[in-house]
Amino acid sequence: QPLALCSPISDDDEFEAPSVQLPSSPDDDDVEPFEDSPKEKSLFLPFKYLEGDLVWAKFNRRPWWPCQITCDPKQGIHSKMKVPSPRPCRMYFLQTVGEVIESAWVPGNVVLPFEGGHQFEDLPVLRRRGKQRRKTTSHG
């Protein structure tokens, strides 16, 4: 599982991938290439958001809320894959914006880019899986 390390990056930084030659095994011909396996592909979904990005997120039974993608202080990363899981997905660590600050790991499917407060009315209504509670009202 690739880790997204949180560290300052400047334009002057150069990245060079180390070249490592692994010994070949006699069974290499029987192994399917990574690109041809949709199940494996889902384990390494690309980053949609980076540390510092402003987003809308829906979690902890609150309405859609402005948040910032940030670094998990315990793990030192801002994103990870939810594995093992029957439904693997990319998770993002975020922090709410406002007076009460909460932090949480949130699945990428409930995170949307933040462009401004005007988006609030157009954000999707998400329904929880399982039984839906009906609001009962009594009229006097």
pLDDT per residue over 81-126, tens digit each?
998 889 889 999 999 999 889 999 999 999 999 999 899 889 998 7
- Looking at the chain, the whole-number percentage of residues with pLDDT higher than 70 is 59
Residue 18 β-bridge partners: none
Residue 1, SS3 per DSSP? coil
Kindly state the tokens that stand for 8. Answer: 């300052």
Residue of 78 and 43 predicted with greater confidence: 78
pLDDT score recorded for residue 129: 61
pTM for this predicted structure: 0.62
Q: What is the CATH number of domain 35-115?
A: 2.30.30.140
Closest CA to 65 of 103, 31, 91: 103
Q: How far is CA 121 from CA 64, 69, 109, 125, in A?
A: 10, 22, 18, 10
